[in-house]
């Protein structure tokens, strides 16, 4: 009996190994635009403790990839847009990139499965800057991977914003690629089809809501909607995620590429910085999505294929551009310090296990910077100081319907001062502001408003760790040499 099971398993093994994307696996984006990032090893432990199967990186960051060695986590590595022109122009540049950023790590035991050449390069806000270089860069990287003998294992694609496809009627079945880039998209999709690579699209119901005051709130979630979209083929779309996914599926089929698989490269909900960005709605959206993924059910146009998605994102990033909105720095499932923001179960509801925090996080001391009680709010220097602090640190939790909306005017100033003080690693000089500020050991946090204490900088800690490894290796080699002699 056991032997039969083992031999069955052995028979299935090649097939199992060839399935690059296990059904109902959960991926997550790991962005690194933080003033105080957790150590890469802490982040990888966080991924493992919480059972994430796959991770998406925006860049081939050495520390992240080194930490992912032997983790069993599948990796999607991004190439930033500013590298596209160089890769498009030179096969040698692509070969060098693959050697340094893929081959090396694969042989070190990093399970790289996908390379995304460019991040949302066709966004209309880029004014066509990357239209001529993205596809040639993808081709260069593909050739380089083939030369390195990795093209069966590592697929080449591009992470695209959902604005590359649309439906004139609003019905998913009418989906097609954006008219101004149709020819280019068909070249890319044909390339994906012939290489067996997936189409990677970022889908953001939150942005739909943010951009359109009349967008029906409940249509953004997975609990049914009072204003569903009824398609002409009789399908009723209850949420914008399914509708967006199927608009893409229809665009692919319409152009003869119904066999290209779809990976949702980014999907999530922010928790601060906007009236619709809060813990309750983020939890509702992400849990709805995860429960849906866990069900293994596809979308109406692709019922047989489980949704394959990477949540956006792992931790908050306090250095992201807020040009799209103040919510930009609050997409994390975890706060900056690896604490979960709300209870979430990755495998759907009901299994009782919620997200676990990062382990072994070291903080600066429990000290905060606040406005002096006797400082005069009317003082011109107060306004100037707040502008300076907010310009250099992060005040995106202040404002209408944010987590710190309940602060009074003095609280606002203190929040700004503390943000700057923590950002500067609690340097005494960072809590002066022309004599307006003072430090305190009493936590000023109130209600939903958190006055943070930053984590201790990791760069200083990471470098000695490498030095120690180096020294140990040196000692070992010396010892072995001694033995030989």
Ligand X SMILES: *[C@@H]1O[C@H](CO)[C@@H](O)[C@H](O)[C@H]1NC(C)=O
296 interacts with ligand X by CB under 6 A:
no
Question: Binding residue for ligand X (CB under 6 A) from 22, 109, 128, 343?
Answer: 128
Measured from the Cβ of residue 93, the count of other Cβ atoms closer than 10 Å reads 18
List 46, 60, 294, 311, residue binding ligand X (CB under 6 A):
60
Provide the sign of the torsion angle of the four alpha carbons 262, 32, 54, 95, taken in this order: positive
Run of H or E including 230: strand 229-230
- Closest approach, Cβ 443 to ligand X, in A, equals 19
380 binding ligand X? (CB under 6 A):
no
The number of residues in the chain equals 485
124 counts as catalytic: no
- What is the rounded CA–CA span in Å between residue 54 and residue 17? 15
CA distance 321 to 366: 28
- Span of 298-306, 311-319, 330-338, 392-400 interacting with ligand X by CB under 6 A: 392-400
Site size with ligand X, rule: CB under 6 A: 21
Asked if 187 interacts with ligand X (CB under 6 A), we say no
Q: Nearer to ligand X by C-beta: 202 or 412?
A: 412
Provide the minimum distance between the beta carbon of 477 and ligand X in the complex, in angstroms, as a whole number. 28
Examine residue 430 and tell whether it contacts ligand X (CB under 6 A): no
CA atoms within 13 A on the CB side of 450: 12
Q: Which of 6, 9, 23, 100 binds ligand X (CB under 6 A)?
A: 100
Indicate the residue among 72 and 324 with the shorter CB distance to ligand X.
Answer: 324
User: Which of 279, 259, 260, 261 lies closest to 271, judged by CA?
Assistant: 279
Specify the residue, 286 or 403, whose C-beta has the smaller distance to ligand X. Answer: 403
**What is d(CA 384, CA 433) in angstroms, rounded to the nearest whole number?**
9
417 binds ligand X (CB under 6 A): no
Q: How far is the CB of 432 from ligand X (least distance, A)?
A: 21
CB of 124 to ligand X, least distance (A): 9
CA distance to 75, 119, 469, per residue, from 401 (Å) = 37, 31, 48
**Rounded least distance, CB 170 to ligand X, Å:** 27
96 in contact with ligand X (CB under 6 A): yes
**By C-beta, is 235 or 389 nearer to ligand X?**
389
The alpha carbon of 275 is separated from its chain's Cα centroid by a whole number of angstroms, namely 22
Q: Is residue 137 within 8 Å of 158, Cβ to Cβ?
A: no
Half-sphere exposure (CA, 13 Å, Cβ side) for 75? 26
Pick the catalytic residue from 63, 95, 124, 266. Answer: 266
Q: Which of 194, 227, 295, 387 binds ligand X (CB under 6 A)?
A: 194
| Chain residues 211-270 in contact with ligand X, contact rule CB under 6 A | 259
Q: Considering only 65-73, 125-133, 264-272, 279-287, which stretch makes contact with ligand X by CB under 6 A? A: 125-133
Is residue 376 within 8 Å of residue 448, measured between CB atoms? no
| Closest residue by Cα to residue 164 from 269, 248, 259, 260 | 248
Residue closer to ligand X by CB (options 187, 259) is 259
Catalytic residue (one of 62, 63, 95, 120): 120
**Shortest separation between residue 80's beta carbon and ligand X, angstroms:** 6
Rounded to whole angstroms, the Cα distance separating 67 from 110 reads 9
C-beta of 65 vs 203, nearer to ligand X: 65
- Residue tagged 């999907």 (tokens): 267
Beta-carbon contacts of residue 485 (< 8 Å; ≥ 6 apart): none
Identified binder of ligand X from the candidate list 41, 129, 253, 291, rule CB under 6 A: 129
Query: Which range touches ligand X (CB under 6 A), out of 12-20, 193-201, 298-306, 454-462?
Result: 193-201
Report the C-alpha gap between 178 and 180 in whole angstroms: 6
- 399 lies in the binding site for ligand X (CB under 6 A): yes
Report how far residue 204's alpha carbon sits from residue 173's, in angstroms, rounded to the nearest whole number. 19
Q: How far is the CB of 408 from ligand X (least distance, A)?
A: 5
Cis preceding-peptide flag for 313 (omega within 30 of 0):
yes
Burial 119-140 (b: 16+ CB within 10 A, else e): bbbbbeeeeebbeebbbbbbbb
In contact, 299 and 243? CB cutoff 8 Å: no
Q: Which is nearer to ligand X, 197 or 315 (CB)?
A: 197
- Angle between the 134-147 and 182-195 helix axes, to the nearest 10 degrees? 10
Name which position in 398, 430, 436, 449 contacts ligand X (CB under 6 A): 398
Q: Does 377 bind ligand X (CB under 6 A)?
A: no
Give the shortest CB-186-to-ligand X separation in angstroms: 12
Shortest approach of ligand X to residue 146 CB, angstroms? 16
Classify residue 223 by its DSSP letter. S
* 193 touches ligand X by CB under 6 A: yes
Which of the ranges 120-128, 172-180, 342-350, 474-482 carries the binding residues for ligand X, by CB under 6 A? 120-128
Residue 134 binds ligand X, judged by CB under 6 A = no
Q: What is the DSSP letter of 277?
A: B
Note if 266 is an active site residue: yes
Asked if 65 and 44 touch (Cβ cutoff 8 Å), the reply is no
59 belongs to the binding site for ligand X (CB under 6 A): yes
In which element (H, E) is residue 111 found? strand 111-119
Footprint on this chain of ligand X (rule: CB under 6 A): 59-60, 96-97, 100-101, 126-129, 132, 193-194, 196, 259, 398-400, 408-409, 412
Catalytic residues: 120, 266
């Amino acid at each position: 009996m056991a032997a039969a099971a083992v031999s069955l398993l052995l028979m299935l093994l090649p097939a199992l190994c060839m399935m690059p994307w296990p059904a109902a696996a959960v991926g997550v984006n790991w962005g690194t635009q933080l003033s105080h990032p957790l150590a890469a090893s802490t982040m990888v432990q966080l991924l493992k403790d919480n059972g994430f199967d796959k991770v998406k990186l925006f860049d081939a960051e050495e520390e992240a990839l080194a930490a992912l060695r032997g983790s069993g986590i599948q990796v999607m590595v991004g190439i930033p847009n500013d590298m596209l022109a160089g890769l498009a122009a030179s096969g040698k540049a692509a070969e060098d990139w693959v050697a340094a950023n893929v081959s090396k790590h694969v042989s070190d035991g990093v399970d790289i499965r996908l390379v995304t050449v460019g991040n949302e390069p066709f966004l209309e806000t880029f004014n066509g800057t990357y239209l001529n270089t993205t596809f040639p860069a993808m081709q260069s990287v593909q050739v380089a991977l083939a030369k390195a003998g990795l093209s069966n294992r590592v697929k080449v694609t591009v992470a695209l914003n959902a604005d590359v496809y649309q439906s004139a009627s609003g019905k998913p079945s009418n989906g097609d690629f954006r008219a101004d880039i149709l020819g280019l998209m068909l070249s890319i999709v044909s390339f994906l089809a012939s290489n067996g690579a997936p189409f990677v699209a970022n889908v953001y119901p939150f942005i739909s809501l943010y951009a359109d005051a009349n967008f029906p709130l409940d249509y953004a979630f997975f609990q049914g909607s009072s204003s569903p979209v009824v398609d002409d083929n009789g399908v009723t779309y209850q949420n914008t995620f399914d509708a967006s996914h199927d608009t893409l599926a229809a665009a692919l089929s319409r152009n003869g590429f119904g066999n290209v698989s779809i990976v949702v490269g980014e999907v999530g909900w922010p928790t601060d910085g906007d009236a619709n960005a809060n813990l309750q709605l983020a939890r509702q959206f992400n849990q709805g999505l995860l429960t849906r993924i866990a069900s293994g059910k596809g979308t109406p146009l692709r019922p047989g294929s489980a949704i394959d998605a990477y949540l956006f994102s792992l931790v908050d990033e306090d250095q992201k551009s807020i040009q799209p909105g103040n919510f930009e720095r609050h997409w994390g499932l975890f706060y900056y310090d690896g604490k979960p923001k709300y209870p979430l179960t990755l495998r759907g509801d009901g299994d009782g296990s919620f997200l676990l925090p990062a382990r072994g996080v070291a903080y600066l001391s429990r000290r905060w910077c606040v406005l002096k009680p006797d400082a005069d709010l009317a003082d011109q220097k107060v306004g100037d100081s707040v502008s300076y602090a907010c310009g250099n640190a992060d005040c995106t939790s202040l404002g209408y319907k944010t987590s710190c909306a309940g602060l009074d005017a003095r609280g606002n100033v203190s929040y700004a001062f503390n943000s700057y003080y923590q950002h500067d690693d609690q340097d005494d000089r960072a809590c002066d502001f022309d004599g307006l500020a003072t430090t305190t050991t009493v936590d000023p946090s109130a209600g939903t408003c958190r006055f943070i204490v930053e984590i201790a900088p990791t760069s200083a800690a990471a470098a000695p760790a490498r030095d120690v490894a180096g020294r140990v290796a040196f000692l070992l080699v010396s010892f072995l040499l001694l033995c030989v002699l």
